[in-house]
Amino acid sequence: MMKRWKAGKRLVPLFVGLTFLLSACGREDLSALRPQGPVAQGQFDLMKLAITIMLSVLVIVFGIAAYVLIKFRRKPGDKEMPKQVEGNHLLEIIWTGIPLILVLVLAVATVQKVFAYGENYWEDKDAIRVKVTSHLFWWEFNYPDYDITTAQDLIIPTNKKIAFQLKTADVIHSFWVPSLGGKTDTNTEGTINTAWLEAEKEGVYLGKCAELCGPSHALMEFKVKAVSQESFDNWVAAIKQPVEPIQDPALAEVFKTQCLSCHAVGDQGGPMGPNLTGIGNRETVAGILINEEGSNKPFPGKPVKDNLIEWLTNPQEVKPGNHMPSPKEDLGLTDEEIEGIAEYLANVKLNY
């Protein structure tokens, strides 16, 4: 037994090294191994504990296996049958007992964290409340306390608990921001889930849908934008300002009849599609066409207007299976009208 402990001690530097290795993995705004908030941090700590325990198991098993395979090869001189052993109670008790202890260690940490992250902060006065509704294939964020509805970019203040209520408008999706915390499914009406997250630093964090939801499941991304409390307050004020309408009356009419029947811009329009207020300085168009402005992009973006034109010209090509009618084929918009609308939307910006 002593030997085992000594071997264990020698492994400690390995685990420390492993921590550094793991935490260098992936992008800061995306990887579960580079946590940016308390929830993700706690989950990462649990992962490290589990990996450490499991690596020690692997080292022991691999060690015994290597020893056995080298030592007990059949040699040409082996004519006699080896001694037949029925078993060994002491050994069997040891390898039942030790795993049991290891599992218990992990179980205690697990149960602790299960309850910590299962906490419901919806009624907490200091928390920011957000109702998340998932749609094929976009995300709607509603702040009931501020009477704000937005889409795709979730704006939150740093160092504040964000309490979520999550549901879906169609099939089951899963709300996941790896660098801030694990995922929660968005179920149908009647089985609404709650969750909470917190971001420690300002920044844009990549969010994804983690449950297969149809053709564009892979493209159902969103961004969480953590900003200072001051910027957040500015944003709340800015999003409520009336939006300047389109100058050209003909185009304004097209926009009103064809776009605003589903989408809302400022105080006008309908609630069916994503709310477009402030789309001019969002991180992306449609969640995946990355806009040029801003920092820390997965790959180089294009001007907002170009992305909007690309989207409006053929939405099915960008996101197969989405529910937006094709502006050209279904709604009869001309290229000029599309360009005009893109130009207009690109300038619908929020200052915060």
- What beta strand segments (E) does 228-306 contain? 264-265, 268-269, 284-285, 289-290
294-297 own/partner pairs: CB under 8 Å, 24+ apart: 294/204, 295/204, 296/29, 296/203, 296/204
Coil vs helix vs strand at 148: strand
In the bound complex, what is the minimum distance in angstroms from residue 179's beta carbon to another protein? 8
Query: Could you say which residues in the range 219-258 bind another protein, by CB under 8 A?
Result: 219
Mark 77-106 with x for binding to another protein (rule: CB under 8 A) and - for no binding.
-x--xxxxxxxx--xx--xx--xx-xx--x
Question: Among residues 2 and 69, whose Cβ is nearest to another protein?
Answer: 69
The stretch among 29-37, 142-150, 259-267, 332-340 that binds another protein (CB under 8 A) is 29-37
Which residue in the set 8, 17, 144, 215 belongs to the binding site for another protein (CB under 8 A)? 215
CA distances (Å), origin 216, targets 137, 200, 288: 7, 31, 11
Residue 166 contacts residue 186 (beta carbons within 8 Å): yes
Nearer to another protein, 16 or 212 (CB): 212
CA distances from 127 to 221, 283, 316 (A): 25, 25, 38
Nearest CB to another protein, comparing residues 208 and 239: 208
- For position 198 contacting another protein by CB under 8 A, the verdict is no
Site for another protein in 126-155 (CB under 8 A): 136
Separation between Cα atoms, residue 159 and residue 335, nearest integer Å: 45
Q: Does 33 bind another protein (CB under 8 A)?
A: yes
Contact between 62 and another protein by CB under 8 A: the answer reads: yes
Residue number with CB closer to another protein (111 or 250): 111
Copy the structure tokens of residue 185. Answer: 């499914």
Nearer to another protein, 40 or 246 (CB): 40
Of the two residues 316 and 347, which places its CB atom closer to another protein in the complex?
A: 316
Closest distance of CB 189 from another protein, Å: 6
Q: How far is CA 240 from CA 114, 147, 233, 235, 350, in A?
A: 38, 9, 11, 9, 10
Task: Give residues 165-194 in contact with another protein (rule: CB under 8 A).
Answer: 170-172, 174, 176, 178-179, 181-185, 187-191, 193-194
43 binds another protein (CB under 8 A): yes
177 SS3 class: strand
Instruction: Identify the burial level of 266 via C-beta atoms within 10 angstroms of its C-beta, where 0-12 means exposed, 13-18 middle and 19 or more buried.
Output: middle
The alpha carbon dihedral of 61, 33, 196, 270 has a sign of: negative
Binding-site member from 11, 51, 148, 236 for another protein (CB under 8 A): 51
73 is an interface residue for another protein by CB under 8 A: yes
Choose which of 40, 265, 308, 318 interacts with another protein (CB under 8 A). 40
Q: Which is nearer to another protein, 225 or 344 (CB)?
A: 225
